[in-house]
Amino acid sequence: MFELIQAEKASFPVRMMCEVLEVSRSGYYSWLGRVPSKRSQEETRLKASIQEAHQRGRGTYGSP
């Protein structure tokens, strides 16, 4: 949820999004200051690796 708020905060007030999504503003602001978890860091590295492989494969997937 907090990622959505972060992505849309230029378009909508944080207060309103927190109310609609039923999360606390303090939780959102606490999330902003946190260091990403090891799992999140690994997922980011994996995503970059997958995207690189997809580009090397000229945007194809599976057998031609």
Which of 26, 23, 25, 3 has the alpha carbon at shortest distance from 14? 25
Quote the pLDDT of residue 64. Answer: 65
Q: Give 21-44 pLDDT, tens digit per residue.
A: 999 999 999 999 999 899 999 999
| pTM, rounded to two decimals | 0.63
Quote the pLDDT of residue 6. Answer: 96
Whole-number Å distance between alpha carbons of 41 and 55: 21
Which of 7, 3, 41 has the alpha carbon at shortest distance from 23? 3
Whole-number Å distance between alpha carbons of 2 and 7: 9
